A and B are shown apart, each in its own frame.
Chain A
Amino acid sequence: MTQHTITSPAFKENARAALNNTQLQRALGNVEQGFIAKRSLAADALPEFDALRDNARDIKNHSLEHLDLYLEAYEAKVIETGGHVHWAQTAEDARGIVLDICRKVDAKIVTKSKSMITEEIGLNDFLEKSGIAPIETDLGEYIIQLRGEAPSHIIAPAVHVNKDEVEEAFRKAHDYLPGNRELEEPEQLLDEARRVLRAKYFEADIGITGANFLVAETGTSIVVTNEGNADLTQTLPRIHVVIASIEKIVPTLEDSAQILRVLARSATGQESSVYTTFSTGPRRPDDPDGPDQYHVILLDNGRSAMLGTEFQEMLRCIRCGACMNHCPVYHAVGGHAYGWVYPGPMGAVLTPSLIGVDKSGHLPNASTFCGRCESVCPMRIPLPKMMRHWREREFERGLNPATARYGLKFWAYFAKRPRLYHFAAAFGLPLLAFFGGRKRRLRKLPFAGGWTRHRDLPAPQTKSFLQQWQKHEARRRGGRT
């Protein structure tokens, strides 16, 4: 049911539909209201926050520069503690490995905790087609699974859904429960999900989780949640499968402590997430609970090709979601408009790397370059700069639309002829300023309906910068003599 059809090429149409979707617009208000204030409070409450961000960045840079060696060290440790390591070059490889593990124990039900990687490889769809039922256990993921949707946010997958829509989905899916039950409030909805999913944890043959970190020193996978769903997912079934991409590696436990300090604060504004769980290998002789088998699938799927390029820094991303929480474009159109798994600024950089800029060229263009994403990124990833790199690549390959290319040529014609440029500016600016009126906003402009339909265009000053500068200089000189 989960949609993984790439609709990134239709970003403009997606965005238009999103802007006209009143339910979505109501839900998106929660992003802007909630996340920004919480993060800022948490960051301000820790004087060392910015220094920790520097450290977090340096740790990931170091890990990436020695990635091959840390991967080997990590693998050796997992094997030493009785776990299995599988290497997947592509999404298809990863799906095949999961299916093999399922087939060996004749698995029918697989519980899953939230994992963007499994979205990236389209695992749910694939398992369903193979006759295995994947059950999402994170409340947000469960909601969108019932609605047959993809996540619209990397840490709040159902942020686009309002509570009446959740109620509708639950009434439809849980039709065996009394029809007259009260189900309007978040508490009641959560309670119902808790009861329904509790049974599933026990039924499942295999539990699949992602990982926030893989620790080379100990062969440990770390997963962070607030609900505790990852813990039940990995503790109750016979087999625990961790799916993680290769850049999740950090050298030591101490390194994970540094990044953990910036992760929750950047994501939800918590000092710490409720559950931080370190898993190392399968059940031991002394263990009365826990899985008999522990598997890790290391996924590349395009990441190694980012190493050594201008996009390497993107591999520092810890998927906190701060960039999209602070993005005016994301606030306006939501996550689905981006058309694939990763939305917002991090998606605008990562998606072209993973599925190609030919399919996702709109995404790095869907930015005002306001720079808020970079200013809040705990890993200090220069997102706007990398979006610009993608725009350059797109332009070099002639992938951007004809209107943009002709527009640039038109502008370049003037830009190369300063006199003509000044003449045109001296003529055009006062005109725009006049139509802007006292509020200095243009609500409509010929040929610019794409802009003005959903927002005003700020009207320019009457005089160009150069004109003002010349006047300023003349006055200064005049004043001195």
Chain B
Amino acid sequence: MSGREAILGKVRNALAANGSASDRQQVVTERLETAPKGIVPARGKLKPAQRVALFRSMAEQVSCTVRQVKKRDTIPRAVMEYLRSKNLPAALRMGDDRRLTRLPWADFHTLDIKTGPSDGDDLSGISYASGGIAETGTVMLQSGSDNPTTINFLPEHHIVVVDAKDIAGDLETLYAKLRRKFGRGGMPRVVNLITGPSRSGDVEQKIVLGAHGPRAVHIIIVDA
């Protein structure tokens, strides 16, 4: 008997008294199809303006820096200012997300832009988030050539752009968005929820930023 049959058999035997097989299957199928929502905290259900304000303050509480800009076109300037303020070289890694590649980067001809996944030598990388969560100050990123996963983790500084309209109150809203895009039961290869720069408290419980992932996360919120 295979491990699979043995384990499932033991589980079935142990649960044998819990109703007929068809009833149980129906309960499970229904649950998987309806995905009932549960409790969303009140602070995850704010109106758009308050939502962005909460997102911002929650992100700052977990040591992100946040900047809000009016239009996408101003992202390159905001990025350059961030790099300068941190004394970082004018170099940036990004994927092929058109919301990023089409921006007027050429205005800053000293800026060295590399595209594709990070090779581990990048000091700064930029990604376009598919959403934000106000409840916790979290950004959501999806794998793919648009925004390669390695950019989320290898550079020392991670700049994340998120559109104000994509900032949801709660995680459940972003799940619903994923379902619309990938179909019921579908998911991108990786979804990263990121809440602040990487950190560790493993030496005497003292929280230190910059464990294995970025030492700093800079969020740029785009109003329109």
Question: A residues engaging B (CB < 8 A)?
Answer: 27, 30-31, 33-35, 46-48, 51-52, 55, 59, 62, 65-73, 75, 77, 81, 86-89, 93, 137-140, 143, 156-159, 161-163, 166, 186-187, 189-191, 194, 197-198, 201-202, 216-220, 226-229, 231-232, 235-236, 246, 251-255, 257-258, 260-261, 268, 270-284, 286-290, 298, 300, 304-305, 307-309
Contacts and interface: CB of A to CB of B under 8 A. Distances in A.
A335 B164 CA distance: 46
Contact of A226 (B6, B8, B153, B199): B199
Interface of B: 2-4, 6-8, 10-12, 14-18, 24-25, 27-28, 31-32, 35-39, 41-42, 58, 61-62, 95, 116-117, 120, 135-138, 143-145, 148-150, 152-154, 170-172, 175, 178, 184-206, 208, 210-214
Nearest to A226: B199
Contacts of B42: 47-48
Contact of B38 (A67, A220, A236, A255): A255
A355 B3 CA distance: 20
Nearest to A312: B14
Contact of A190 (B17, B61, B211): B211
Contacts of B8: 68, 71-72
A289 B12 contact: no
B211 A231 contact: no
A190 B143 contact: no
B10 A300 contact: yes
Given A87-B3, A137-B212, A275-B192, A235 B198 contact: no
A66 B27 contact: yes
Contacts of A89: 3, 6-7
A159 B32 CA distance: 40
Given A231-B149, A283-B189, 6 more contacts: A162-B204, A228-B213, A254-B175, A272-B193, A278-B190, A289-B150
Given A52-B39, A282-B189, A271 B201 contact: no
Contact of A279 (B17, B137, B178, B189): B189
B14 A289 contact: no
A227 B203 contact: no
A366 B35 CA distance: 41
A227 B211 contact: yes
B31 A252 contact: yes
Given A68-B12, A283-B189, A226 B24 contact: no
B39 A228 contact: no
A229 B39 contact: no
A102 B79 CA distance: 43
Contact of B7 (A31, A73, A246): A246
19 contacts: A52-B41, A73-B28, A77-B185, A87-B6, A197-B212, A219-B185, A227-B199, A227-B200, A228-B213, A231-B192, A232-B213, A235-B153, A254-B172, A270-B195, A273-B195, A274-B195, A278-B192, A281-B189, A308-B17
Nearest to A139: B202
Contacts of A87: 2-4, 6-7
B182 to A, nearest CB: 9
B15 A307 contact: yes
Contacts of A189: 203
B189 A305 contact: no
A272 B10 contact: no
A271 to B, nearest CB: 5
Given A67-B15, A254-B172, A307-B14, A190 B195 contact: no
A87 B211 CA distance: 34
Nearest to B10: A304
Given A257-B172, A279-B190, A186 B203 contact: yes
Contacts of A88: 3
Given A68-B12, A274-B195, A300-B7, A290 B38 contact: no
B188 A268 contact: no
